[in-house]
A and B are shown apart, each in its own frame.
Chain A
Amino acid sequence: MQLIFSIITQKELTEYLQNSEDTIVALATPAGVGAISVIRVSGPKSIEVVDSIFEGNGRIINAKTHTIHYGKIKYANEVIDDVLVSVFREPNSYTGEDSIEISTHGSQLIVQKIIESFLEKDVRLAEPGEFTKRAFLNGRMDLAQAEAVVDIINSRTEASLRGARNQLDGILSAKVDSLREMLINSSSMLELELDFAEEDLEFLPKEKVIERIDEIVIEIDELLKTYAFGKVIRDGVNVALVGKPNVGKSSLLNYLLKESRAIVSEIPGTTRDVIREEFSLDGILFRLFDTAGIRLTEDVIEKEGVFRSRDAVKNADVVLFLNDIIDGFANDLYKELKQLIKEDKILITVNKIDLLHDHIIECDVQISAKTGEGIESLFKAMKQKAIGSENYSEKGAIVSNLRHFNALKKAKQHLVQAKESVQNGMSGEFIAVDLRNAESSLGEIIGKVTTDDILNNIFAKFCIGK
């Protein structure tokens, strides 16, 4: 059950149940000017309400499900737009409820007027993600799909959107489903030997069981490895910018923001000591925390600021540790950093190389925030620190959700235990304990939990029956 509540909390569910009688409306296409806009209405009154403002050949209230109707939307006796109305009757709609989609010409004014006309008729504006929640609660999509839709709604950058889309398309679901099927096949072979010992059948030799378990573990490992990448495209990368005063933090910051040309926002920190900037690079969202206050200070007034800066370092995925080529490597600060965060997360960067050419300090990247030299390498290094050196594509199956990651890890643990049981010469019923647990962990990702699959598989594949 916890899996349901991980994406929809008990409170949300209760609220939903109280509000599920409501009919809701929202613009389904992105806000802004496009060729067309689509307004979606869902809920028990949707058909009736659209019917009351629509003028066409027939009445919407009599329309069959999955039909499209051309006509005019009228509001206060004024024709607002020529539209196409698509009718979906429950349960065969996106949300599982009666739903209407109105395609209008892409004008904010038109959209606004149509939505206003709904609001006057006891229809309320949908909350973000509410259509999807209704879809999930009405059993219109599986868990992984619903979570992907929620990710889309929350996705901040293009790559993240691609990642979420392909999960929605079911790439992860399909992958996990195929792993689960492999497991069910192996379990069937073991169960066959236990329940049909009397039959004249060939049973799976133990080495083969191990081989099959290994195959599945390798596949799970591959999926687990994509998590760092998946998490990055989903959540973005937290970068803490650390350095002594006057090493060029502000100029680097300005350069990065200018270079990325995609400033998302400038959010002032909760104290003047931590400034947060967001920018996107290659479709990955970077959140930069400028930690002016990390320096070792005896100043009592600044202690609070230091405390907050240290927190930013602790929570960072990458620490951009900036040094001045002239002042040399800030060893004392580095020692301080190492106490806060694992060394491999620290990206040692040397700035101001335009001032002192041919001088070498041991570091990861050398840059000049003034001339832009080495900035490309810095980008690359930051990306690599965050997602590792492997090159993943959002087109493959990617694990970007912590629940999925944990379920896969659990499945792997069970498989490793199962393998140990085989190696210790335990008989099938013991191996089956962990294979089943592994199967149910995989099933949690896609919301499938049935115990009959193994027997059905046996009946289909083997000639049994004394």
Chain B
Amino acid sequence: MYFDLIVVGGGHAGIEAAHAAAKMGVSVGVVTMDKSAFGRMSCNPAIGGSAKGHLVHEIDALGGIMGQIADRSGIQFRILNRSKGPAVWAGRCQSDRKLYSVEASKIISSTENITIVEDSVIEAIEEDRKIVGVRTLKGNEISCKALIVCSGTFLNGLMHTGLNATKGGRFGEQPAIGLTESLIKMGFEAGRLKTGTPPRLKLESINYEILEEQPGDENPQPFSRRTDRSKFPFLPQVSCWLTKTDSSVHQILEKGFDRSPMFRGLINGVGPRYCPSIEDKIVRFADKPNHQIFLEPEGLDSDLIYVNGFSTSLPEEIQREAIAKIPGLENAEMVRPGYAVEYDYLPPYQIDLTLETKLIKGLYFAGQINGTSGYEEAAGQGLIAGINAALKILGRKDEFVLKRSDAYIGVLIDDLVGKSTDEPYRMFTSRAEHRLLLRQDNADRRLYEFGHRFGLISDNELKEMKEREVLITKSKDLFDEIKFKPDEINNLLESKATNLIDNAEPVSKLTKRPELNLRDLLQELDLEKYPLVNSLLANEKALEQVEIELKYEGYIQRQQDLIKKMEKLEEVKIPESFDFLKLKTISNESKEKLHKVRPRSIGQASRISGVSPSDISILLVYLKN
């Protein structure tokens, strides 16, 4: 058997990788243990959230599929941070877990060039430091030009509930054995991480009467630019419910601490600080009397409730007893206990910004194997790995690397490679120094051209965006020119309770006032005189962009200045053959870090933790000589 590209795993990273590469024209074999498990959500049945919503929009703007799958299987949509500025608005949806997987399967099985192989890869094969194929559990050898490993939590997965440990990557599923060892044999270093999942409860066993309801937005917004808005939302919409723990719950949980695999030291993997288990929260924040619990439905015809905020690996009976003390859950039936899962990851200093490994050409890693957590982080990497692998197979000389100022995906990969995370890495908006520029609303303006270059965004989509771009630029210029005289606008200003003007002011200046919106202002104009304004008013997307750019001009300008400053350092490239160990005048620690990460530019080198500004100046001098 031969495929140009083999993708190991059909999770969120695997399906983006396979889909993108197949669309680019290479033959793809997706090896998965269970062909009904495409896009299966191992943890919470939700997509998006702060910074993660941004990732979904970016994936969509690059021609990825996550946004469309989420839109088709979403049963509650909300925009978070609505009260704040547009840069931090973030879409989030509750998904029907089963339908999410069904929609993912539909796309994968209908994409040309993709073959599904139900098997498990136990060994990667290389020749002369180049990947040539894999060996599978069923005894097959499949050859290939490139291999993308998206193994999620399956590499030597080990699940803990109390003192019971079960081998597996997800409830009821086998782990992937052998692959880590074959990678170590090639010279890779592996580490161990941990994540957790909460118990599942029976839907009808909960007393909703006394719980606070959390409905979705009244006017739900899809993630994908390709979703037909006239049919959206596709599914009936449901609510989530809020409750919280109290000291009686905490007391019961404490009874189980002597059988906690975490506290007993049975778990070697490092867990995420931002997503602690309930037992961790109780210990680390002992003075906090309550912890919020979100009860999330798992699907329209599912009878399961996901207990978000209550991730735990305490013994099953302790979980059951503690849950019964939570208001509203007195009679709740626990269908499945929470567990912690440990898995192998390969510290990501070993990959390049293209996600190809530095050690073996043609081998790519994406998703949790690189130390990330989250579906969206995985999908973003899958897409980048898929595109780069395809470029290589097609013999194209270009490679696809997004800068930190281009996208959250760029921030994500740059952080991974440069900082080589040692805890599961999750995206936050505060990780992006260019946060005001990396918005959901302008993801297409930032990324369509890239997507189009790889054939993942259609000519029409790009053309529409470019026409909009012209409209945006022309409108902004025009609004500097058009001025309102006091008698033309003061009525509106008065009605909006903002200061009146004494002298004529341009539209662009008035738009900056928080009390005013652009549409209202434009409606005060003699529209017959300005056909351009008419086109703008008819183009909601363009109008939104013009308004944001005018309103926040000063801040946006300051961030752009910063990008320019940073880009100077990014432009100083370090040749691939550069020997960092030769640098005699810098500390051994920095030398080793630089040697490990092998940064490609001075900018990337300067972000490596432990590399000081003086090391960078020495590096600069060496490069100039």
Residue B37 CB within 8 A of the other chain: no
| Stretch of B445-453, B529-537, B613-621 with 4 or more beta carbons under 8 angstroms from chain A | B613-621
Residue A450 CB within 8 A of the other chain: yes
Cβ contacts under 8 Å, B292 to chain A: 199-200, 466
CA A137 – CA B616 in complex, angstroms? 10
Cβ contacts under 8 Å, B433 to chain A: 436, 451
Are A200 and B435 in contact (CB-based, < 8 A)?
A: no
Closest A residue by C-beta to B288: A463
Are B555 and A430 in contact (CB-based, < 8 A)?
A: yes
- In the assembled complex, the CB of A424 is this many whole angstroms from the nearest CB of chain B, namely 7
Are B87 and A429 in contact (CB-based, < 8 A)?
A: yes
Residue A392 CB within 8 A of the other chain: no
Are A465 and B555 in contact (CB-based, < 8 A)?
A: no
> Among the interface residues A3, A426, A429, A464, which one has the most CB atoms of the partner chain B within 10 A?
A429
Using a CB-CB cutoff of 8 Å, which residues 11-63 of chain A contact chain B? 13-14, 16-17, 20-21
Are A450 and B609 in contact (CB-based, < 8 A)?
A: yes
Using a CB-CB cutoff of 8 Å, which residues 262-298 of chain B contact chain A? 272-276, 281, 284-285, 288, 290-292, 294
| Stretch of B24-32, B317-325, B583-591 with 4 or more beta carbons under 8 angstroms from chain A | B583-591
Given contacts A195-B50, A455-B428, A466-B275, whether A429 and B616 have CB atoms under 8 Å apart is no
Cβ contacts under 8 Å, B590 to chain A: 139
Q: Among A4, A21, A96, A463, which residue has its beta carbon within 8 angstroms of that of B291?
A: A463
Using a CB-CB cutoff of 8 Å, which residues 407-443 of chain B contact chain A? 419, 428-431, 433, 435-436
Are B274 and A465 in contact (CB-based, < 8 A)?
A: yes
What 0/1 readout, one digit per residue, does chain B (576-620) give for beta carbons within 8 Å of chain A? 000000001111101000000000000000010100111111101
Residue B308 CB within 8 A of the other chain: yes
Q: Among B80, B272, B284, B419, which residue has its beta carbon within 8 angstroms of that of A198?
A: B80
Given contacts A433-B555, A447-B613, A455-B431, whether A197 and B80 have CB atoms under 8 Å apart is yes
Given contacts A198-B49, A429-B88, whether A137 and B614 have CB atoms under 8 Å apart is yes
Using a CB-CB cutoff of 8 Å, which residues 71-86 of chain A contact chain B? none
Residue A196 CB within 8 A of the other chain: yes
Give the A interface residue count (CB, 8 A): 52
Cβ contacts under 8 Å, A283 to chain B: none
Using a CB-CB cutoff of 8 Å, which residues 406-457 of chain A contact chain B? 424-430, 432-434, 436-437, 447, 449-452, 454-455
Residue B133 CB within 8 A of the other chain: no
Given contacts A1-B616, A138-B586, A429-B87, whether A197 and B50 have CB atoms under 8 Å apart is yes
Q: Among A5, A432, A449, A460, which residue has its beta carbon within 8 angstroms of that of B617?
A: A5
CA A434 – CA B621 in complex, angstroms? 32
Given contacts A138-B587, A465-B275, whether A194 and B430 have CB atoms under 8 Å apart is yes
Question: How many contacts between A and B, using CB within 8 angstroms?
Answer: 137
What 0/1 readout, one digit per residue, does chain B (554-592) give for beta carbons within 8 Å of chain A? 010011001000000100000000000000111110100
What 0/1 readout, one digit per residue, does chain B (65-93) give for beta carbons within 8 Å of chain A? 00000000000000011011101100000
Q: Among A139, A196, A449, which residue has its beta carbon within 8 angstroms of that of B586?
A: A139
Q: Among A194, A433, A459, which residue has its beta carbon within 8 angstroms of that of B273?
A: A459
Using a CB-CB cutoff of 8 Å, which residues 368-382 of chain A contact chain B? none
Are A139 and B80 in contact (CB-based, < 8 A)?
A: no
Are B85 and A430 in contact (CB-based, < 8 A)?
A: yes
Cβ contacts under 8 Å, A459 to chain B: 273-274
- In the assembled complex, the CB of A415 is this many whole angstroms from the nearest CB of chain B, namely 14
Residue A129 CB within 8 A of the other chain: no
Are A14 and B621 in contact (CB-based, < 8 A)?
A: yes
Cβ contacts under 8 Å, A198 to chain B: 49-50, 80
Q: Among B84, B274, B585, which residue has its beta carbon within 8 angstroms of that of A427?
A: B84
Given contacts A427-B88, A433-B555, whether A451 and B274 have CB atoms under 8 Å apart is no
Cβ contacts under 8 Å, B588 to chain A: 91
Given contacts A1-B617, A426-B85, A465-B276, whether A194 and B586 have CB atoms under 8 Å apart is no
CA A217 – CA B550 in complex, angstroms? 30
Q: Among A194, A433, A460, which residue has its beta carbon within 8 angstroms of that of B50?
A: A194
CA A132 – CA B428 in complex, angstroms? 41
Are A463 and B284 in contact (CB-based, < 8 A)?
A: yes
Q: Among A139, A452, A455, A463, which residue has its beta carbon within 8 angstroms of that of B285?
A: A463
Residue B135 CB within 8 A of the other chain: no
CA A372 – CA B304 in complex, angstroms? 97
Given contacts A20-B584, A197-B50, A459-B273, whether A465 and B430 have CB atoms under 8 Å apart is no
Cβ contacts under 8 Å, A200 to chain B: 244, 290-292
Residue A10 CB within 8 A of the other chain: yes
Cβ contacts under 8 Å, B584 to chain A: 20-21
Residue A191 CB within 8 A of the other chain: yes
Cβ contacts under 8 Å, A428 to chain B: 84, 88
- In the assembled complex, the CB of B403 is this many whole angstroms from the nearest CB of chain A, namely 16
- In the assembled complex, the CB of B4 is this many whole angstroms from the nearest CB of chain A, namely 39
Given contacts A1-B616, A4-B613, A463-B285, whether A433 and B558 have CB atoms under 8 Å apart is yes
Given contacts A4-B614, A198-B49, whether A464 and B585 have CB atoms under 8 Å apart is no
Are A139 and B429 in contact (CB-based, < 8 A)?
A: no
Are B431 and A424 in contact (CB-based, < 8 A)?
A: no
CA A450 – CA B50 in complex, angstroms? 22
- In the assembled complex, the CB of B414 is this many whole angstroms from the nearest CB of chain A, namely 11
Residue A321 CB within 8 A of the other chain: no
Q: A91-B587, A137-B585, A426-B85 are in contact. List 5 more A-B contacts (CB 8 A).
A: A1-B617, A138-B585, A429-B435, A465-B309, A466-B275
21 of the cross-chain contacts (CB-CB < 8 Å) are A4-B617, A8-B617, A17-B618, A20-B584, A137-B618, A139-B586, A139-B614, A194-B430, A195-B428, A197-B50, A200-B244, A426-B514, A427-B84, A430-B555, A451-B431, A459-B273, A459-B274, A465-B274, A466-B292, A466-B294, A466-B309
Contact surface of B with A, Cβ cutoff 8 Å: 44, 49-51, 80-81, 83-85, 87-88, 244, 272-276, 281, 284-285, 288, 290-292, 294, 308-309, 311, 419, 428-431, 433, 435-436, 514, 552, 555, 558-559, 562, 569, 584-588, 590, 607, 609, 612-618, 620-622, 625
Contact surface of A with B, Cβ cutoff 8 Å: 1, 3-5, 8, 10, 13-14, 16-17, 20-21, 91, 96, 136-139, 143, 191, 194-200, 424-430, 432-434, 436-437, 447, 449-452, 454-455, 459-460, 463-466
* 3 tightest A-B CB contacts, nearest first: A200-B292, A427-B84, A459-B273
